Structure 1
Amino acid sequence: MTSEISNYIRRHEAAIAPLYKDYSQKLWDLSLSGSEEREKALVEAKERYLKVYNNSEEFRQIRQWKSLHVQTDPIEARQLKLIHDAFVPHQIKEDVLRDIVRRETEIENFFNTFRANFEGSEASDNQLRDVLRNENDITRRRASWEASKQIGREVASQLLELIAIRNREARNLGYPDYYSMMFELQELDEKWVFSLFERLEHLSEPAFSEMKAELDATLKEKYRVTDRENYPWLYSDPFFQEFPAAGASESLDEIFKDPDIEALTRAHYHSIGLDIEDLLRRADLYEREGKSQHAFCLDVDHEGDIRVLCNIRKNERWMSTMLHEFGHAVYDKYNDRSLPFSLRTPAHILTTEAIAMLNGRMSKDPDWLMKIGGLSEGDAKRVGASALKTLRSEMLIFLRWAITLVRFERELYRNSGQNLNSLWWKYVERVQKVTPPSNRDQPDWASKIHLASSPVYYQNYVLGELMASQLLWHIHGKVVRSGSYAGNPEVGQYLVENVFKPGARYDWNTLLKKATGEELNPEHFVRQFVDNN
């Protein structure tokens, strides 16, 4: 029976690899130009790929093998586990699968190509963010924020229909809802994660409240606002998920208004011993009409064809985003190609997010600003305290934002018939301490692309931040034995050998324990950002 399982795994991977590559290529093509022809091609390619996991006879055989607890070597046991988990959500009727693929693609492409109506013209996400980042007139800021939410009205009904279908099929498979099913298939304990998030919310409450009170006072003074309320257009991000540049005593945007952000990204990774020349050549990094307005990394074939999409503007946000996305890319690039196809990926979503976040933080690190950003020692020292304060504030802001979205998304799948518009602002007001706009009854929640394109994903950002702090603690204490990160090739060597090369041969917590000596320990993040005064 062991040989039968081995032969099946080889056949499965030989069948799935070209289909995955074709699907990934079509996804990339649509992201560059959202035409109807490319949308249709992606739907067809994705359906061909997922139909492999729709085969009920194969799934029955896999379940039988698992129930018999057949002894296989650890690599094949892990492959079979991941193949099984990929089959589970696709044990649905073929026409339902086709319908889900079509709906998901249509919504995602709408996000890619939508441009808001602002002041009588079409405006991209970057243009609206520029207003929120730089405009002092509070009326214009409000108009920009409201424009950023227009897409929510356009997609909310389609998204709710898709959620109803996902829930129906998950319940047919024996799960309470789609959300709980995906938690289990991501090897996450839902109760443990939500208990952890409750603790993080409680621990961060004093630090967040103090930081936000100071931030709100600074912004209100700058924009000449006398209201007691803290409306969402006060901030530079439409969801208040990052620290506003206007709230810092030293603007980090000024540092990045002239330098080549591509070159700085290259220099950063070179300094830690990781070459990204090939990754930059395949990347698509600048804004244009019809292109996806977001940022992502895509491993097209698990053979080295890795692509990054960005929409660079010369500011600190895009510097951080480039470091983040190429963190995903180096993880994929330096994977062990001798591993089987299904294990030639990160151990988990949260582990690749951890690497991306660890590197994305560096644009606010004083040592990095001097070594890579090119600041003089005096300038780095001058902006250093402000940069570290900004980083801490941003981590607190992002933590509270992510908890808001994760809580809302669970309720969205548990009971999508409730007043979601009101629920959204209830969580935003309580957790993020942002005042709901008066008499607003709009599906602002639906303007967040992740709810449509990456369902049940956001908890991995928080877990990734926790892992990033744990990795940094280990790197400082055991790898470079100093408080530095950039400029140390030992960092890249450590990450390649201990995080990248193992691929998906271990579950995420086993990988982390092997890499740092302990399973996920949130205290490293708490010490770095919550308790750090």
Structure 2
Amino acid sequence: MKPKGQTNQKPLKKIMQTKENDVMTRVSNVIALWCFVFVSLSGVTASAKGKTTHAKADKSSKKTNKVKTLKAQIQTLEKRMKRAESMMARAAKALALAEGVVKRAKTTLAAVKKMKDSSRLALKKAHKALKKEIASQRPLTQVEVRFQIDDWEIRERAAYVAYAHVEWKKYTRAPKLSTKKVYGKLTKIRSEKKIFETLKRARKEGILKDPVLKHRAQMLWDRLREFHLSDKANALRKKIHALEDKLNGIQASHRAVLGGKKVSNRDLRSIIRRDPKRSKREQAWRAYATVGPRVLKGGFMKLVRARNAYAKSLGFPTYFHYRYSKLHLHPEKMWKIYEKLRLASEDAYLKTAASYKELLKIKKVYPWDRRYAAFYQTKKVVDLDKYFAPKKLLPILFRGYKEMGFALKQLNILMDLYPRPGKNQHAYCFDIDPPYDVRILANVGQSGLRAYETMFHEMGHAVHGKFVRQDVRTFRALPDEGFLNEGSANFFGNLVDTKDFFQRYLNIPKKDLQKIVAMKKKQLNSRLYTMRWTLLWMYFERDLYINANVDDPTSMFWARYRQFQGDVPPNPPPYWGILIHFVSHPIYYQNYLLADMLAAQLHEAIRQKTGAKNVLGNPKVGPFLKKNFFAHGRRYRWDELLKKITGKPLTADAYLRALKHSW
């Protein structure tokens, strides 16, 4: 093996010499070849010189003939070109004419098709008109009216149940879910002309002699008439539903922020009610009110104005007047009752406010002080919350209803009771399809009397729905008048804050109970003070629809607040936005006050007719309410039903007596 860098020089030289020899040989051959070619060409050139003179003469004659031939060909081609151009021009004209013919043919075809479609539509209308005319000449019978009502109600109920299921899903777990599609199907059924024309004709001809059928026809007429008045009213109803759907989603999904963290309404209310630090209560209260700007920005006043426009299209001055008409309430008469309660509570309000100022050593009672003052006033005597523990709520609820004659475990009431993200933070009873499908939504888990009142209230709605007993579908639902529904709920809810309830279910030591009874007897003023909140919401909502042109009703709200509750806080926010009823259940809040009045009258009637001193623990309560109240469903108007049950018209007297004597 050779060292690196050393090469073999001898073989390389031999290779280079061999290549040089090859190149020289090839060069010699090329030179010899060129010499041969040169000699050959010299000979050819000499022989060609002799022939050149003869070739020139032949060439000139050939060139002359070729030129003539070419000129003749060019002339022929030019003629052909002209003929081709002429033919192309004629073809273009023909094509243009053909395109015009095709265009006219297409236009004619479209016109014929349109005429055919319009003829088909006209023929369909003519057949329909003929059928309608033949039907109108044929006598309309009660049997036919009953059949049409039954058929329509079956389809309408199915559409409503589908809509209610979507609403349940929206409220329990999907706040942004739209109900537009199912609501559209329900509206389409309610807008059907056939059933409406049948009712119209039956009313005109006066053929309905059966009192039950006549009542059903009248109820349906009242419900459906507004769906058949004008396209404007129908468009406004769709707009209203879309705005309600949007604002419901805002209220349901809203979570306030306190201290950099999202906080539920339930926790905020707990801070406002229990925290001794006034500044922290104020922060919680202001956080609680942050939903207001979102509701306002989301189009709340557009909703108010749309409702007013809808009411005006139906012949009412405002939506307030329209709703009172639907509820069979006379605004002026009812306002006299409300004014009576306002004046009756005036002195109580002033005394309660003064006592709160003295208790908390403050000069003004702001919204974040009122609930805390009531809580602190009670806690100084005894801590009630320890007796209203969350874990005892359901056992006491089931026991209390059972002792009044309602076996809740046998009623199959679906309950969604505990809070979670995305769930509505309030409490509702969903009467999806009474008496078969009734559900409760709630958010239990905190101690306190209010939690117990809420569950007894919502269960009152549920048992009402579960004991509707009507063979006729028209009546197989909860009453149209909201305060009858709320009356049945308040009948039970108002039993919680009573001496009998505390003695019977809370296992309170005798010494503590005596303190509580003494305290409660002194708190009549504070209960009347609380009632003024209901009046505040009612008066403000009426103001909303009478003064609907304002862009922001916040100053209007605080003016009413000053009238009913006193001191207005600095920089007052749109606190009215916390109330879900303004969006989902307009002109509804008066139902709670009327329900308290109704519940008090029912309590007195049951004591008289069953011979028992108490309602709680009275097993005759259930059978009495089932037979005389719940079973009737929607069959009677509220004033008729109230007289059937109590023998008296609605008044505030029993309610005021109940406030004085419940303890």
Scaled by the length of structure 1, the TM-score of the pair is 0.90
Matched to 1:103, the amino acid is L
The answer for the alignment partner of 2:454 in structure 1 is 321
Query: Aligned pair count?
Result: 515
Matched to 2:415, the amino acid is A
The answer for the alignment partner of 1:517 in structure 2 is 647
1:234 aligns with 2:369: yes
Matched to 2:441, the amino acid is L
Offset of residue 22 of structure 1? 0.7
The answer for the alignment partner of 1:46 in structure 2 is 183
Decide whether the 8 Å contact of 2:478 with 2:485 is kept in 1: no
SS in 1 for 2:345: helix
SS in 1 for 2:440: strand
Aligned residue runs from structure 1 range 351-362, under 5 A: 351-362=484-495
1:132 aligns with 2:265: no
Decide whether the 8 Å contact of 1:347 with 1:511 is kept in 2: no
Looking at CA atoms only, which structure, 1 or 2, has the larger radius of gyration? 2
SS in 2 for 1:297: strand
The answer for the alignment partner of 2:54 in structure 1 is none
Q: Which among 20, 35, 43 is matched to residue 160 of structure 2?
A: 20
Aligned residue runs from structure 1 range 126-525, under 5 A: 126-157=266-297, 158-218=299-359, 220-221=360-361, 226=362, 228-236=363-371, 244-248=374-378, 249-257=381-389, 259-278=391-410, 282-312=414-444, 313-346=446-479, 348-377=481-510, 379-387=512-520, 392-393=524-525, 395-418=527-550, 420-433=553-566, 435-440=567-572, 442-482=573-613, 484-525=614-655
1:112 aligns with 2:252: yes
The more displaced of 48-57 and 59-68 is 59-68
SS in 2 for 1:346: coil
For residues 4 and 397 of structure 1, the distance between their equivalents in structure 2, rounded to whole angstroms, comes to 56
For residues 383 and 105 of structure 1, the distance between their equivalents in structure 2, rounded to whole angstroms, comes to 45
Decide whether the 8 Å contact of 1:111 with 1:151 is kept in 2: yes
SS in 2 for 1:260: helix
The more displaced of 361-370 and 177-186 is 361-370
What CA deviation, in whole Å up to 9, does each residue of 1:439-469 have, x standing for no partner? 43x4222221110111011111111110011
Offset of residue 532 of structure 1? 8.8
Decide whether the 8 Å contact of 1:89 with 1:170 is kept in 2: no
Aligned residue runs from structure 1 range 81-120, under 5 A: 81-91=218-228, 93=231, 94-120=234-260
Offset of residue 389 of structure 1? 5.1
The answer for the alignment partner of 2:211 in structure 1 is 74
Offset of residue 180 of structure 1? 0.9
Q: Tell me: CA distance 1:58–1:280, structure 2 relative to 1, closer, same or farther (3 Å).
A: closer
Decide whether the 8 Å contact of 1:282 with 1:306 is kept in 2: yes
What do you get for the CA RMSD once the two structures are aligned? 2.4
The answer for the alignment partner of 2:123 in structure 1 is none
Q: Tell me: CA distance 1:99–1:71, structure 2 relative to 1, closer, same or farther (3 Å).
A: same
Matched to 2:269, the amino acid is R
Offset of residue 268 of structure 1? 0.9
For residues 565 and 334 of structure 2, the distance between their equivalents in structure 1, rounded to whole angstroms, comes to 19
Q: Tell me: CA distance 1:388–1:304, structure 2 relative to 1, closer, same or farther (3 Å).
A: farther
Decide whether the 8 Å contact of 2:498 with 2:662 is kept in 1: no
For residues 422 and 435 of structure 2, the distance between their equivalents in structure 1, rounded to whole angstroms, comes to 29
Q: Unaligned 5+ residue runs, structure 1?
A: 238-242
Among the aligned pairs, what percent are the same residue? 26
Q: Tell me: CA distance 1:186–1:69, structure 2 relative to 1, closer, same or farther (3 Å).
A: farther
Decide whether the 8 Å contact of 1:324 with 1:357 is kept in 2: yes
Decide whether the 8 Å contact of 1:293 with 1:311 is kept in 2: yes
Q: Tell me: CA distance 1:393–1:87, structure 2 relative to 1, closer, same or farther (3 Å).
A: farther
Decide whether the 8 Å contact of 2:581 with 2:588 is kept in 1: yes
Q: Unaligned 5+ residue runs, structure 2?
A: 1-140
Decide whether the 8 Å contact of 2:435 with 2:469 is kept in 1: no
The more displaced of 354-363 and 271-280 is 271-280
Scaled by the length of structure 2, the TM-score of the pair is 0.73
For residues 47 and 250 of structure 1, the distance between their equivalents in structure 2, rounded to whole angstroms, comes to 54
Offset of residue 169 of structure 1? 1.9
Q: Tell me: CA distance 1:439–1:71, structure 2 relative to 1, closer, same or farther (3 Å).
A: same
For residues 563 and 173 of structure 2, the distance between their equivalents in structure 1, rounded to whole angstroms, comes to 39
Matched to 2:292, the amino acid is G
The more displaced of 111-120 and 356-365 is 356-365
For residues 439 and 164 of structure 1, the distance between their equivalents in structure 2, rounded to whole angstroms, comes to 27
Matched to 1:357, the amino acid is N
For residues 256 and 180 of structure 2, the distance between their equivalents in structure 1, rounded to whole angstroms, comes to 26
The answer for the alignment partner of 1:240 in structure 2 is none
More helix by share: 2
Decide whether the 8 Å contact of 2:152 with 2:195 is kept in 1: no
Offset of residue 65 of structure 1? 3.7
Offset of residue 319 of structure 1? 0.8
SS in 2 for 1:370: helix
For residues 285 and 532 of structure 1, the distance between their equivalents in structure 2, rounded to whole angstroms, comes to 29
Q: Which among 62, 80, 102 is matched to residue 199 of structure 2?
A: 62
